[in-house]
Structure 1
Amino acid sequence: MIGGVARELRAEAERTNERRVLVLAGDRDRAIDAAYDAVESVGLADEAVSLVSTRDGFRFEEHRPRSADELLGRTREAVVLDCHERFVPNALGRAVGAVDGGGLLILLTPPLDDWPAVRDRFDDSLAVPPYDIGDVTGRFRERLVGTLRTHPGVAVVALGDDPEGDAVVRDGLTGAQPVGGANRAGAGDDAEPRRAPPGATFPASAYTACLTADQSRALRAFEALSEPGSALVVESDRGRGKSSAAGLAAGALALGGDEVLVTAPAFRNAAEVFARARELIAEETGDGEGGAVDRSGEGGRGGDADGRELRTPAGGRVRFLPPAAAAAVAGEADAVMVDEAAALPVQLLEGFLGAPAVAFCTTVHGYEGAGRGFAVRFRERLLDSRFAVRDVRLDEPIRYARNDPVEAWASRALLLDARPAVDDAVADASVGDATYRALDPAALLADETLLGEAFGLLVAAHYRTEPNDLARLLDAPNLVARALVADGRVVAVALLAREGGLDAGTRRRMYEGERVRGNMVPDVLTSQLRDEDAAAPRGLRTVRIATHHALRDAGFGSRLLDEVHAEFGGEPTGDGAEPVDYFSVGYGATPRLLRFWKRAGYRIVHLSTSRNEASGEHSAIMLCPETAAGRDLLARHAVAFRDRERDGLSDAHRDVDPDVIRGALGACSAPVPVDLTETEWRSVVGASVGPGMYDSAPGAFRDLALAALVEGTDLDDRAERLLVRKVLQGRPWEAVADDLGFVSTSACMRALGDAYTPLVERYGTDFAREERERFIND
């Protein structure tokens, strides 16, 4: 029976160049045997099949659910996903993406009626202390099962105790007919090999490697990167070949002698770029071993051992760097390619505008792409830049037909196409008329529009959102969601995590180095900042907060936070939980966000010493206390932050953006004691109104600068940046003068003295004021 179902599915999939799903629901061992039967019945070679499972010993290529990232960019005729023991939603997304047109995705699941109630190792990861696995719900799987039972192209076989007891619940056949006779990607009307268009400068072999007219058109657009001042934006849904086109272009540019810098959130995101570049270089140079790649990484014409650098005989090079590192050296390359650009913060993307020529490639839908930051905010910046910008969109799927039902099923099941309400639907919304409401998981499950708009806003708020996040939203016991709704549309949403309230034993283990899941702020305060009592108070952390992009800067975010504070602070909450002692947030620090959270009443307690590799930002943690316990927690960590920064600004934070430092210090609630000796006051007063020098008492200048920036100054922005760059970060005079735009080092020195004149007035002792009058009267 299994073999017959699989053969019919496979035959229809091949005829239409679509994919099909086969669900084998029942006992795990029986499901594994049935999967072997299905694969054998359709005549697939073992090497064409991948299996994702927590078990091993299979004859197929094996992957673990937690490391199914290896499937990204792969093409397989069948993928078997074992959903028993550890069902990871991300692994489902990766498995779907790896199946080629004409192929099968085979899911091994518990009985579908039982599956939502099954708790496995993934659920255990959602049971963060003080919750346990019994608190985790099964709503994500309940919704997934509903899609398996209703969506076209999905066959379901209920397995019995033996093959005789198997029952075909759905055959998965759609009755679809081939379109234009297409059997494989690139067949039918597009079956002829691509030819280089007239006037093309890239090698003809690059164009013959294209599989669709869309891809060939995109490749031609990439030729503009040969000229400085050119920028290209390439957008597509998943599986349309944008990364392949970028790889062919990178290889072609390198063959011409150009230095091409490639970046992406992680190297795996750019693997397809390097694969296509390597193939083109190999073909053009006649090197069947993979072009000019030195796989040993020991020099010569080659690159590093893991293929992150390709070199050509013409002296060209294609190399990968992580985003922050790439942005720092973008101007040194001839061209920069940013793959999955939507997954990077706007501030980091702006760093690539220093490149001579640049391409931004982004996935419009799917978990590789994220947010509207690229589409809305960065596009405005790009269009205002010096670049001549060209847009290209790829719509034609490369590996399967345009109307593939499995692509539609995966988008629905994992909300890969989730998006906020359309702009026109919220354009007239006002803060005062919006309604605050809880986004109860049961309500989200019952209302697809509500779920899609809420999750779409969460996607827009963050540079990376994955299917796992949808499962957390629906099932994790420590998470709650709240929203503002206007005229029935979600206009702002906040995802919140309960943290802390941990018992003494857990706090001790955390202090001694044990990681406690889902308690980010208590973990940092305890394990990194060495406060064993930090996890005792109860906190509510804003994991993400988002306002519809059409309503930016209209006060919706502030209103939503005010409502959250009113609901969860002070009085018992509606869900029976105790009120929190403090609210918290952790995020990549930018001047704008530091101002927002300070206005909302939050104060900083930590700024990470290292940058996030993808965002290039230092992470800030801020607290807003509600009770005495919360106020005590903030007080001791604000003091600790103040004291760390006094010394850390000339060490670990020496290169942090001065506007970030200004924002961070301005959000510190611990006042800075100023207690200078008479000798130190002589130096400060002398530098401000007399012939004194900063170098005579740098510690005194540091104390005054720190106090002024924490408590706020009347100085202009450049003067405050001068206090940060020279006094607190201890950078050389020449570098500070150049960085801040002073005409000379001496002008910079005079400006520093001028900046201290009002600080002497504000903090000076009677002795200091007498010393100042002495110079003024003279």
Structure 2
Amino acid sequence: MIAGVARDLRAEAERTNERRVLVLAGDRDRALDAAYDAVEALGVGDGDVSLVSTQEGFRFEEVRPRNADELLGRTREAVVLDCHEQFVPNALGRAVGAVDGGGLLVLLTPALDEWPATRDRFDDSLAVPPYGIEGVTGRFRERLVATLRTHPGIAVVALGDEAAEDIVERDGLTGDQTAERADDAVDAAADPPSAPPAATFPVGAYGACLTDDQARAVRAFESLADPGSAVVVESDRGRGKSSAAGLAAGSLALAGRDVLVTAPAFRNAAEVFARARELIGSETDGNGGGGKGDRAGDADERDLRTPAGGRVRFLPPAAAAEAAAEADAVVVDEAAALPVRLLEGFLDAPAVAFCTTVHGYEGAGRGFSVRFRERLLGSRFAVSDVRLDEPIRYARNDPVEAWASRALLLDARPAVDAAVSGASADEATYRALDPDDLLADETLLGEAFGLLVAAHYRTEPNDLARLLDAPNLVARALVADGRVVAVALLAREGGLDAETRRGMYEGERVRGNMVPDVLTSQLRDEAAAAPRGLRTVRIATHHALRDAGFGSRLLDEVHAEFVGGDEGDADGVDYFSVGYGATPRLLRFWRRAGYRTVHLSTSRNDASGEYSAIMLRPETDAGRDLLDRHAIAFRDRERDGLSDAHRDVDPDVVRGALRACSGPTPVDLTETEWRSVVGASVGPGMYDTAPGAFRDLALATLIEGSGGDGVGLDDREERLLVRKVLQGRPWEEVANELEFVSTSACMRALGDAFVPIVERYGTEFAREERERFING
């Protein structure tokens, strides 16, 4: 029976160049046996099948669920996904993406009626301390099961045991529409792309294209040979944009050009390098392999060389942005997954291409499409836009693509602009996004999750499961005229018992407690995980309503709802917290919301190139005690750390982080140190004679800021304090960066900046010393 169902699905899938899904629901051992029967019925070789499972010992390629990223950029005739012991939503997305047109995805699940109530190892990862597995729900699977039972192209077989026969609940065939779609598939393949007239790339680059869309993209990439050109390629997943970029990169390298490729991770750019390698090999030795351009001479798969002296090389985003000006052309794949601040660094390249995913969890942030595109259009580049709509590996109307998009919300998006225009932050309604309400309302779920996807490139299917099922997460929103206009995803942290805190202090990892973990394990505070916190994991405002007060209003409502950490108050917290990639703008936003800096990471995020800040807003005595001791510790760390691990942090990030530090700023200099400081500001003294004294004063000045009792330095003077005094940069480098006319002018400016600093912090002795020089 199962073999017959599989053969029928395969036959229809091949006729239409679509994919199909076969669900084998029941006992795991019985399901694995049935999967073998199904795969054998397909008539495909074992080498064309992958099995994603926690079990081992199968004749197919084996992939662990946590390693499902290995399927990215690959095509398989069949993928079997074992959902029994560890069902990872991300693995489902990867498995679907790996199935080729005409292929089959086989899901092995518990009985569908029982699956939502079944807990597995993925659920265990959602049970973060102090919550247990009993707090995890099955809403994500309940929703998934509903899609499996209703969506076209999905067959469901309820597996029987020794006493019962298998039951075909759905055969998965789409019926009357098959012939029409098959005719469309034949028509689409009838005229393969060819090289356009006057093409400058090799004919082989166009011959490798599978759709006219892809050929148009390759043609647009030809402009990268000319400085001042930029190309933007947008598409949904599976349309071949990365392949087109790879063919273009290989073509440019064959012409002797240095092409720098970057992406959030090398795996995201694997297809770019695969296509570049194939083209270089075929053009170099004429047989698609062997020659210098294939792999010979390439000790590193991330650096392909050509006989003409060209190359295609990979660097992580932050490093690529710094090296952009040195390359002939830069290709940024999954550009929407990178922050705007980092994308702007690629505008230093002679020519640049940005490839972005419109929908899908590889990266669909609105930062690129809304904010960065405006910056790009206003730059020196002549910009060409290309959109790819035709799928490469399966037909346009493939029902499995539609099912995966719905089941995993890959196409989730915020409400359209027109629906929220005119909304006011003051008039919006604050509401809890209860998981049951989200499960019952697809529009509410799609708009809320769509905002989270748009706000952060790392939002993925696992996050949808966390939103619906994790006991430590809560979501809150602002709603205007029934549409979600702002959303916050919040995580309860802390409140951990002494034994758990001790283990954390001694090096054990405790899931889901990011801020307590950093304060305890890295900053060595064993008591840090005792107070109860609420961390903002994500906060997003509809892009059409940015800078209109919605984020601040939402935070105000969250603070009012959860304030108070009394023992009898289950919802109240001792402090609020946030951790994020620090930028001057975000540091200002969180400082104005009452949050104070307690930590700045000592290394950059590989993708964003930013240092991560952790900030707290205390609400009870326990929260205030926590902030007080860590604010002081942060102040003391930065006094020395800014000339060490933080020596290259942007001065405006340093200013913002210190401005948001609530640690006291005592200044206790000796008379000898005051002589040096006063002498350097109004006399013949030199900065180099007492760098520690200058550092203490600079730190106090920046923490107190320009308001209230602050010194009142301008922006450049504060940047001078950071770069020279706190980070210890050479005079010439500081003078050039801050655009002083000479090094001596920079030195004089530092002395001038310390005149009001001495006035603000100087002792009676310091003031007498100053008068001595002023009055002669």
Higher alpha-carbon deviation: 45-54 or 722-731: 45-54
In structure 1, the partner of 2:306 is 312
Query: Aligned partners of 1:291 and 1:382: how far apart in 2?
Result: 38
Report the Cα distance in structure 2 between the residues aligned to 1:683 and 1:268, rounded to whole angstroms.
Answer: 55
Name the residue aligned to 1:30. 30
Q: Is the 8 A contact 1:257 1:314 kept in 2?
A: yes
Task: Tell me the SS of whatever aligns to 2:548.
Answer: coil
* 1:177 matched to 2:178: yes
Return the alpha-carbon distance in structure 2 between the equivalents of residues 259 and 458 of structure 1.
Answer: 37
CA distance in 1, matches of 2:476, 2:322: 38
Which residue number corresponds to residue 762 of structure 1? 760
Deviation digits for residues 303-322 of structure 1, max 9, x if unmatched? 234x1110000000001111
Q: Is the 8 A contact 1:14 1:183 kept in 2?
A: no
* 1:685-696 equivalences in 2 (<5 Å): 685-696=678-689
Partner amino acid, structure 2, of 1:450: L
Give 1:366's aligned residue: 360
Mapping for residues 692-771 of structure 1, pairs under 5 Å: 692-713=685-706, 714-771=712-769
Which range is displaced more, 8-17 or 407-416?
8-17
1:303 lines up with 2:302 in the alignment? no
Distance in structure 2 (CA, Å) of the matches to 1:281 and 1:693: 60
Asked if 1:129 corresponds to 2:122, the answer is no
Q: Distance in 1 between matches of 2:563 and 2:293?
A: 60
1:577 CA displacement: 1.9
Contiguous gaps of at least 5 residues in structure 2? 707-711
C-alpha deviation, 1:502, in angstroms = 0.3
For residue 238 of structure 1, what is the aligned residue in structure 2? 237
Deviations 1:726-750 (A, max 9, x none): 0000000000001111110011011
Q: Does 1:424 align with 2:396?
A: no
Contact 1:154–1:170 (CA<8 Å) still a contact in 2? yes
Amino acid of the residue matched to residue 655 of structure 2?
R
Shift of residue 293, structure 1, vs aligned partner: 5.4
Identify the residue that residue 371 of structure 2 maps to in structure 1: 377
* CA spacing shift, 1:290–1:121, aligned 2, 3 Å: farther
Partner SS, residue 602 of structure 2:
strand
Q: 1:205 to 1:258 in 2, by over 3 A?
A: same
Give secondary structure in 2 for the equivalent of 1:304: coil
Map 1:600-639; keep pairs closer than 5 Å. Answer: 600-639=593-632
Query: In structure 1, what is the Cα distance between the partners aligned to 2:655 and 2:775?
Result: 35
Is 1:93 aligned to 2:111, yes or no? no
- Structure 1: unaligned runs, 5 residues or longer: 296-300
Preserved CA contact (<8 Å) 2:510 2:517: yes
- Structure 1 distance, partners of 2:567, 2:448, is 22
Q: Which amino acid aligns with 2:375?
A: R
Whether 2:63 is the aligned partner of 1:63: answer yes
1:209 aligns with 2:191: no
How far 1:45 moved relative to its partner?
1.2
Task: Report deviation, 1:239.
Answer: 0.4
Question: What's the CA shift for 1:178?
Answer: 4.1
- The residue number in structure 1 matching 2:384 is 390
1:428, CA displacement in angstroms?
Answer: 1.0
Indicate how the Cα distance of structure 1 residues 369 and 163 shifts in structure 2: closer, same or farther if over 3 A, else same.
farther
1:671 positional shift: 1.7
Aligned partner of 2:525 among 528, 531, 538: 531
Q: CA deviation at 1:573?
A: 12
1:285 corresponds to: 284
Residue from 541, 560, 582 that aligns with 2:535: 541
Structure 1 residues 35 and 573, CA gap change in structure 2 (3 angstroms): farther
1:595 is aligned to 588
Work out the CA distance in 1 between the residues paired with 2:279 and 2:503.
54
Residue 232 of structure 2 aligns to a residue whose secondary structure is strand
CA distance in 2, matches of 1:163, 1:760: 91
Distance 2:565 2:518 in 1: 27
Check the 8 A contact 2:504/2:520 in 1, yes or no: yes
Q: CA deviation at 1:48?
A: 1.1
Q: Per-residue displacement from partner, 1:593-629 (whole Å, max 9, x unpaired)? A: 0000000000000000000111110010000000000
Aligned to 1:298: none
Which sits farther off after the overlay, 173-182 or 392-401?
173-182
Q: Give the distance between the partners of 1:26 and 1:318, measured in 2 at CA.
A: 49
The Cα shift of 1:47 comes to 1.0
Q: Retained in 2: the 8 A contact 1:282–1:289?
A: yes
Aligned residue in 1 for 2:138: 138
Q: Indicate if the aligned counterparts of 1:17 and 1:178 stay in contact, CA closer than 8 A.
A: no
Of 621, 640, 643, the match for 2:636: 643
Which residue number corresponds to residue 153 of structure 2? 153
Structure 1 pair 774/560, CA: closer, same or farther in 2 (3 Å)?
same
| TM score, norm. by length of structure 1 | 0.97
Q: What whole-Å deviation, never above 9, does each CA across 1:696-733 have from its counterpart, x for those lacking one?
A: 11111111100000001311111100000000000000
| Alignment-derived partner of residue 16 in structure 1 | 16
Amino acid at match of 1:282: G
Q: Which residue of 2 aligns with 1:774?
A: 772
1:227-626 equivalences in 2 (<5 Å): 227-286=226-285, 288-289=288-289, 291-292=291-292, 302-305=297-300, 307-570=301-564, 577-626=570-619
Structure 2 CA distance for aligned equivalents of residues 48 and 598 of structure 1:
55
Is the CA contact (8 Å cut-off) linking 1:17 and 1:182 kept in structure 2?
no
SS at match of 1:103: strand
Letter matched to residue 727 of structure 2: Q
Equivalents in 2 of 1:80, 1:189: separation in Å? 29
Q: Which SS does the other structure have where 2:439 is aligned?
A: helix
In structure 1, how many angstroms separate the alpha carbons of the residues matched to 2:252 and 2:365?
30
Shift of 1:4: 1.1
- Give the letter for the 1:58 counterpart: F
Deviation at 1:183, TM superposition (A): 8.6
**Could you tell me how far 1:379 is from its partner in structure 2?**
0.7
Give the whole-Å Cα distance in 2 for the aligned partners of 1:707 and 1:182: 74
Q: Is the 1:180–1:189 contact (alpha carbons within 8 Å) kept by the matching residues of 2? A: no
Contact 1:646 1:702 in 2 (8 A): yes
Identity of aligned residues (%): 83
1:44-83 mapped onto 2 (5 Å cutoff) = 44-83=44-83
- The number of aligned residues is 769
* Conservation of the 8 A alpha-carbon contact between 1:308 and 1:319: yes
Deviation at 1:261, TM superposition (A): 0.5
CA apart distance, 1:685: 1.3
Deviations 1:422-454 (A, max 9, x none): 001001100111000000000000000000000
Structure 2 SS opposite 1:737? helix
1:222-270 CA distances to partner (integer Å, 9 max, x unpaired)?
A: 0000001111110000000000000000000000000000010111100
1:610 match: secondary structure: coil
- 8 Å CA contact 1:18, 1:101 repeated in 2: yes
Moved more, 249-258 or 279-288: 279-288
- Determine the C-alpha separation between the residues in 2 that align with 1:572 and 1:640: 27
**1:424 counterpart letter in structure 2:** A
Cα RMSD for the two superposed structures: 1.4
Contact 2:251–2:280 (CA under 8 A) maintained in structure 1: yes
What is the distance in 1 between the residues matched to 2:424 and 2:318?
A: 38
1:683 Cα deviation (Å)?
A: 1.4
CA shift, 1:7, in A, is: 1.0
Q: Is the 8 A contact 1:294 1:304 kept in 2?
A: no
Give 1:196's aligned residue: 195
1:168 CA displacement: 0.5
Deviates more, 1:705-714 or 1:766-775: 766-775
Aligned to 2:709: none
Is contact 1:502-1:536 (8 Å) kept?
Answer: yes
Quickly say closer, same or farther: Cα 1:571–1:535, change in 2 above 3 A: closer
Q: Which amino acid aligns with 1:203?
A: P
Aligned counterparts of 2:68 and 2:713: Cα–Cα separation in 1: 53
Does the Cα contact within 8 Å between 1:604 and 1:668 map onto a contact in 2?
A: yes
Match status 1:658 vs 2:651: yes
State how far apart, in whole Å, the 2-side matches of 1:612 and 1:62 are. Answer: 31
